[in-house]
Structure 1
Amino acid sequence: MRKSSVQVAVAGAGPAGAIAARQLGLAGLDVVLIDPFVTPAGHLIESFPASGAPLAEEIGLLAAICDVSDGPAEAMRMAWRDVPETRAFEGAGPLLLDRIALHEKLRAEALRHVAPLQARLRGVVTSGRKVKLSTSAGTIRCDMLIDARGRQAQKRAASDMTALPFSAVNDLPPHQMWLEALPDGWVWACSLGGGVMQGAVFQRAAVLAGMRGPARAAYVADCLAGTDTFVGARGIDAGQPAAAGLSAAADPLVSNRHILVGDAALARDPIASHGLVHAMRSGVQGALAVLTALDRDCDSQAAFSFMRHKHREAVAAARLATQRAYADQSRFETPFWATCAPPRVIPDQPDIGQGAVTLAAPLTRAPVLENDRIRWRPAIELSASDSFLTGSGSITALDIAAACRPAAPLPEIANRLGRQHDMPAVFEVLERLTLGGAFVQAAVAP
């Protein structure tokens, strides 16, 4: 019999939701995973960069991910700038993953530790210490909800960029990736064994609006025919278009009982890559926040501050990567590309002069992860990057604050820290603090 009350409900069994549910189940919590459990739509191949391997290994899922891989890509062939180029990965290329098999694998890993509820989440009401969930299979109550239902989880501005997935047959070498700019869009594709090619054409949503199956396939054929690489493609089949541009929630916390993770919090533009790694990391962070919030020995506000800080970091990194990638395109100067890459705003570098300096703001506190729980630690505000520093190596924020009293020139502050710490580490942390806007010129006594 299905339970009517659990500690944690996770809505959405994509990578972020499945991983969050699995981590909480492994920690011993009573968890239900709510999802229709249908085959995911969209493109059929995910690329998983080598940078995500340490996280996957740390949570015990690297072997499962490798199981659904067609192998690593050997090179990325780019027609993005004036001169085409090829980037060889030399054995460290991203894994080309079967997307459907990946979702099924991660769900299976989660369901070894949590209970499934095959249903759609229709409504969320938070009251006191409980969350009431209305689903297509009935009502369930929980202490906390992790919402991983993707872009549709929360109402926010729709993305103007759309991905039109396709498959085709082409006489291309296997395990290659392609990125090619078009006058009014761009295409990403990869080649698998047997001449099979999978990819997506990226275009403004208005261009693809109202197209049906045959028209979508014809549109993909026209796009590929205009390239040097894919002109011989045949057997083209196009799927359903899906939103693809960068879209971020203003706050990953709908309430202190309702946390957004994965695409529900931040959906990256595919041009910036690393979308799967972000989903995995977001799921792990959401699980850690819930573990902390439900632990009576911890301060739940540290967990919520941690989620907001990580969200701001992820959004800033995604926006910068997206902007750089679009600005790097130099093959075409068309209205499409003019609106893709707005001019970058380079912040002014802090200028603190040569005299005595002190911390720009009093010592504060910041949330940090320690032994699977999030806790407050003394921190120094970095106003230039909207971040903070709790320490670097053996040097703590308390050490730095003590070295700044009384105010002194930076060389003297370095000497004070150098009495207990290695000077290379001292110089590194002081440079980070300076660039982060942590110091200001000390006021001159009258």
Structure 2
Amino acid sequence: MATDLTADVVVVGAGPAGAATALLLAPFHQTLLVDRAEMDDRVQPVARIGESLPAATRRLLQDMGLWEDFQNQGHVPCYGTRSVWGGPQAIWADSIRDPDGPGWHLDRACFDAWLRRSATDRGAALVAPAQAVDLVSTADGWQLTLLRHGRRLTVGSRFLVDAGGRTAPLAKMLGHHHRLGDRLACCWCRGISSGDAGVTVTIAEPGGWWYTAPLPSGRRVLAFHTDADLPVAKELAGVENLLARARRQTDLASLLSTVGFQPIGHAGYCAAHSSWMEAAAGPGWLAVGDAALACDPLSSQGLLNALYSGLMAVRAVRRGLAGDTDAFADYVQTMARVVDAYREHLAAWYALESRWPDQPFWRRRHQAETTLIET
């Protein structure tokens, strides 16, 4: 079949998982990185939430050859956490006891752009904005059709990586679906503040739980998590409604007053549920990041999983393209173990909060069996 572009590997999705996969593959295989968003530096990036990077990520960044450069990006260290969870008293945990040291509160737009630049610096080609709209299996691999500025581009590839987030566009084209663990959603806003640097705060309440943390350049994020189908999710539309509920939580109200939090911009709303692929790979393709496992923000594992799955995927792709027939089965097993450990640990964290067993949000998380839904 005639194609406009060819590559050994096409990675669809240029977020952290996709960019990490591309930057590690590019020195060895012709790699094309595709994203539906505009990547022009003159265009304001879409606001994203998800700023926590655990300390253990240091080891992944070292393995990826990115650690020294990461330290120059100006992200804010996270020296500890303060949580009101399982009881009315705040509990502190600091990074002194962590052998990896402190984690980080990220400027997500800068972090994502840095990973993409690292991918192109190592030889990956970037096509953006472009959306995958059709996929056909061929004798040599795949023919992927992209829609870019209203024009169709065909790309021939030996292998595909789905890094398209929770929507997992390639996997869906191939008939694969996520398993949905819950209906968690996040209502959030950003603002300016001062003080309380380097501390992540998590506070449980009857309808869900709160999260707030400082960001680079004197900014702060405030977020509330609840299930999308519960009335409270609809009641929190808009910054004022979000702040009004936050101020009814004594500990949170005190913190926001102390740091002088002033919201800027509009409130955001996004999916935050757990979901995963039953099998994160198949003949000629695999999934990474949220396309393989999307994490509840309570776990603080989303970005760690993005980078780890990218690193594991690259090992599988390189083995597979070299003729190792076990490479992708091994990747499926690796990601299945990650999913099992994640679900076990998340259930344990939610089990620690037992003050409101009759509230729908908490009752669902304390059930012995979680209803799983195909998406």
Q: How far is the alpha carbon of 1:343 from its aligned partner? A: 3.6
What does 1:83-122 align with in structure 2 at a 5 Å threshold? 83-90=89-96, 92-112=101-121, 113-118=123-128, 119-122=130-133
Task: Say which of 45, 55, 58 aligns to 1:53.
Answer: 58
Residues 13 and 163 of structure 2 are in contact (CA less than 8 Å); yes or no, is this contact kept in structure 1?
Answer: yes
In structure 2, the CA distance between the partners of 1:69 and 1:47, relative to structure 1 (3 Å rule), is: farther
Correspondence 1:163 to 2:186 = yes
Amino acid at match of 1:178: V
Q: How far is the alpha carbon of 1:169 from its aligned partner? A: 4.1
Correspondence 1:71 to 2:52 = no
Correspondence 1:306 to 2:330 = yes
Q: Deviations over 1:386-442 (max 9, x none)?
A: xxxxxxxxxxxxxxxxxxxxxxxxxxxxxxxxxxxxxxxxxxxxxxxxxxxxxxxxx
Specify the alignment match of 2:19 in structure 1. 18
Higher relative CO (Cα under 8 Å, sequence separation at least 6) belongs to 2
In structure 2, the CA distance between the partners of 1:241 and 1:126, relative to structure 1 (3 Å rule), is: same
* SS at 2:112 equivalent: helix
Correspondence 1:289 to 2:290 = no
Q: How far is the alpha carbon of 1:337 from its aligned partner? A: 0.7
Q: How far is the alpha carbon of 1:227 from its aligned partner? A: 1.7
Aligned residues: 337
Q: How far is the alpha carbon of 1:250 from its aligned partner? A: 1.4
Specify the alignment match of 1:124 in structure 2. 135
Unaligned runs of 5+ in 2: 39-44, 371-375
In structure 2, the CA distance between the partners of 1:199 and 1:221, relative to structure 1 (3 Å rule), is: closer
* SS at 2:48 equivalent: coil
Unaligned runs of 5+ in 1: 346-446
CA distance in 2, matches of 1:241, 1:209: 13
What TM-score do the two structures reach when normalised by structure 1? 0.70
Q: Deviations over 1:187-244 (max 9, x none)?
A: 11112477632132111112479959x9321331123112223323653355331111
* SS at 2:145 equivalent: strand
Residues 69 and 96 of structure 1 are in contact (CA less than 8 Å); yes or no, is this contact kept in structure 2?
Answer: no
Correspondence 1:259 to 2:286 = yes
* SS at 1:230 equivalent: helix
In structure 2, the CA distance between the partners of 1:142 and 1:209, relative to structure 1 (3 Å rule), is: farther
CA distance in 1, matches of 2:165, 2:216: 31
Q: How far is the alpha carbon of 1:60 from its aligned partner? A: 0.7
CA distance in 1, matches of 2:356, 2:71: 38
In structure 2, the CA distance between the partners of 1:230 and 1:193, relative to structure 1 (3 Å rule), is: farther
Residues 48 and 109 of structure 2 are in contact (CA less than 8 Å); yes or no, is this contact kept in structure 1?
Answer: no
Q: How far is the alpha carbon of 1:133 from its aligned partner? A: 0.5
Specify the alignment match of 1:30 in structure 2. 30
Specify the alignment match of 2:223 in structure 1. 200
What TM-score do the two structures reach when normalised by structure 2? 0.83
CA distance in 1, matches of 2:249, 2:80: 18
Specify the alignment match of 1:136 in structure 2. 147
CA distance in 2, matches of 1:41, 1:257: 33
Q: How far is the alpha carbon of 1:277 from its aligned partner? A: 1.1
Residues 48 and 96 of structure 1 are in contact (CA less than 8 Å); yes or no, is this contact kept in structure 2?
Answer: yes
Root-mean-square deviation (Å): 2.5
Specify the alignment match of 2:41 in structure 1. none
Q: Percent identity?
A: 25
Q: How far is the alpha carbon of 1:294 from its aligned partner? A: 1.0
